[in-house]
Each structure stands twice: as C-alpha cells, then as structure tokens.
Amino acid sequence: MFPRAALLVTVLAALPATYAFWIFGGTQPLVTTRLDSIVSPGIVSTHVHSVVGGSRFQASYDYNDLSSSQCSTISVQEDRSNYWAPQLYYHDQNANTFTPIPTSFNIYYLQRPGPANERVQAFPTGLRMLAGNPLRRTNNASNFEDQAISFHCLDSQDHTGDPAWDERPDFFQHQCPDAMRAQVFFPTCWDGNNLDSADHKSHMAYPIQNYNGGDCPASHPVHLVSLFYEMFVSVDQFPYAPGNWVFSFGDTTGLGMHADFQDGWTDKGLLQTALDQCTEANGADGDVSACTVLQPYINRDFATACKPEMTIPNENVGFTGTLNSLPGCNLIWSDTSPKPTCNPNPPTPGFVSVKTPLPSGWAEVGCTVEGTNGRALTGASTTSPTMTKAECANFCAADGFPYAGVEYGDECYCGQSFSNGASSNTVGWQECSTTCAGNPNEDCGGPNRLTLLYNPSV
C-alpha cells in the first residue's frame, strides 16, 4: 500500500478546499487482455490493456449487459463501469523477454465546476471516451490533451528542486524506488448529445481555463464529474536500464500513454445524488466511505473477489509463461519515426471463456465451508502449480470420486461424500476468492473454503 500523502499529492496540489472528491483506491485489475471495446469493438484489439471495473467486460460493449455484471473490482458495487489503460511490461533486453509489471489503479471522481459554478453532472448512461494517444511521439506543453498525461516517480526521499524527478509527460531516466505512477485526466465537458464519436474524443472537451478544471466551452456545455486515473506500476520490482519499460503497444518513451472509460453505473440517480450531497464540508475529501450516499453500496469483499465473466483472446499475455515478443504486432518503438509494422503479421487468436471449461458431466455447486474437525473431502488429494477447477475434476474423476473441491488456489480434494461436519450447503461466492494457480481469471476456493464440484455420473 502506498502512503496516502504520495497518492494525493498531484491532485491536491490543484484542488480548491471547497471542492469534493472521492477515490476508488487500490483497485486491482479485473483482467489483463488484448481487448478494447471502444476502439476495437468485437475483435481482438491491437495491444494488451489492464482493465478494472464491471465483471462483464468484453469485446463488444453494451451498457445493459455491462450493468448486469455480477460484481465490480470498484469498491462501490453500483459502479459497473470499466476503466482501462495499456499494460506496462519489463523488457529484459539481454534475454529479449517481456514480463507484465504488477499494476493497480486509483480512480478519482472530482467536482471541479469552474468559475461559472456550473452544476457537476453524472455521466450520461452509456458514455464512452478516450484520453491520450498511443501514436503520440512529441509533447506540446501548451496543449491540454498533452498536459493531461503525466508520470510521477515515487520515492520516500525528498527530491524537491531536482528536475530529474519533476513530474513529466514521459518516462523517467532513472529507477522509481517506490513505483511509478502513470496519470490520465479525462476531458470533463460533454456536447450533450453523443455518447461516443468516431475518434472517441470529439464529443468531449477539456475546460476553457485548464485541462483539470474550469468552465465548459459553448460547444460542449454539459459539465460532467471529472475523471482522473492513477495507474501504479511496480517498476521497482525489476532492475532499471533505459528502454526496460515498454507499453504493450511497443512504446518505450511513455508519450503514448492513454486510457479508456465506458460507463456502467447502474443507478444514475445515485451518482448524481452523491455529486450533489457529498461535499468537502461533510468529509468527502478523498475517502469514498465518507460519502454517506455511496457508503451503503461499498463492498470491498466483492471487489476483491471479483473475476471476469466473459470471453477473452486465447493467448498468453505474460502471466502463464515467458513472452519473447509483445502480444500482437507491437515491435519496440523508441524514436519519432512511424510505428514499426510486422511482416508477416502474427496470427490473431480466437476467443475462449475466461474460465477453464469443466469436463463433461461436472457442475460447480458453489463455495462451501471446510469440515469442522478435518477435511470435508477425504478420498484423495493433490496439489498442482497449474491447478484449475477442471484439473481438479479430472483428477477426482480418474479415481472414481463424484465430489471435487479446490482450495487455496492449488489444492484439490476428492470424496464420495462429506466428512467432519461438512456439507454441500453454500456460502457467499466472494468467500472463495483465491485465484487458481493455473488460471488468473478463475477462483479456486479460499481459506477454509472449497469451490465444490459434483458429477453424479462418476
């Protein structure tokens, strides 16, 4: 966990004391995959993104489908929106391998009405937008869109006055001892008509006075709540060398940082009420739980346990084996020349379920409690670094057991029936939240909890 002061320094520096805001802090990715339902709807996208939010994120965006997600990695469960940005990789230039760098997000909702004091409004239902440009190779310091992209190098030491540590539009030329923060401020002003546009930007605009606050222009008169991402990347976990940080689209400069948002709030009245009532005066100074309107909808257990529900491209993005190239056609790109292309292009993967399909005859019962005086299933057991629910079911079926249960991510237990006070009664799905060792998008039990499987025909 990063120190609170480090998390807030950028935003608070420009935030008037009378403006309220809240943070969905420490949000972990829902999925890391080559999808972008805004820029590349219905197909495999050009590069890998780290995605947070509603569990029904998929290649084709539909608000009604997204808002029916089982859960969200955002703490306020009524927010089923998706928020995403390109994955950052560590490039070992000696071995020519690529490793995804651990990533998390802070999502800020800020109320910045500007001098005209326009009413800050909730997102219109189904809004989509993009900030930044993956093809950008230069920085225009007077352009709001460029100013809205920045990087902050985190360190417990004070580097005030040292320009090498100043917040900047591109990557630092030294290590960041406590991680690096990639920052994106989205345009705040909406044209009032279009939920999207051909470039996914023209229906939105930055305020007149500044990229992060001010009055809306006449062309985009509706002042929405301001959206700001902090994407934390743990670059400190890898040795530093120039060129070792590379975005999933091949960029080693950082100038191409960008981010996407698609609205999935299930209750616009709730968000608007929160914007109207959760002010700085009643404690809405970053802590979302201080907003009494949103507080009843906070469920961090659901957020922590949330896993994707839909299909993703059938490819390794770096979590299940070594990558010798970035997924897709994404060669290293470190200069101002046009983005390099592949010849031939790599094959495009098909789509698969995020969860490994169970073998024929098997069904998932749900999350159950272990035995009170010993194991619930005592027939046979195994552990595996590639454990999935399907692997456990196959193991138990081979020995003639109709019940299978996975626990702690890599343990599998089998039985003819239940022992030691256990039963097939289920508890909340969120109690089985340990990620399967063999599939980062699937749950395999938890502490003293089994994800129970059953095949009556075994």
**DSSP conformation letters of 261-286:** EE--BS-HHHHHHHHHH--GGGT-EE
* All structural domains of the chain with their residue ranges: 4-313, 363-454
C-alpha distances out from residue 204 to 15, 185, 224, 269, 296, Å: 22, 12, 10, 22, 31
Give buried/exposed letters for 73-107 (b at 16+ CB in 10 A, else e).
Answer: bbbbbbbbbbbbbbbbbbbeeeeeebebbbbbbbb
Taking the CA atoms of residue 12, residue 15, residue 20 and residue 25 in that order, the dihedral angle to the nearest 10 degrees is -30
Contact present, 420 and 371 (Cβ < 8 Å): yes
What is the distance between the terminal CA atoms of the chain, rounded to a whole angstrom?
A: 46
Residue 118 has what pLDDT? 86
97's enclosing H/E stretch is strand 97-100
Residue 110 has what pLDDT? 95
- Residues forming beta bridges with residue 121, ordered by sequence position: 224
- C-alpha to C-alpha distance for 297 and 313, rounded to whole angstroms: 32
Residue 328 has what pLDDT? 97
* pTM for this model (two decimals): 0.93
> CB-based contacts of 256: which residues, under 8 Å, 6+ apart?
86, 132, 133, 134, 135, 136, 137, 247, 249
**Averaged in consecutive runs of 10 residues, what is the pLDDT profile of the chain (458 residues)?**
39 50 94 98 98 98 96 97 98 97 97 88 97 96 97 96 96 97 98 98 97 96 97 98 97 98 95 89 76 94 96 95 95 93 94 96 98 96 97 98 98 97 96 95 96 97
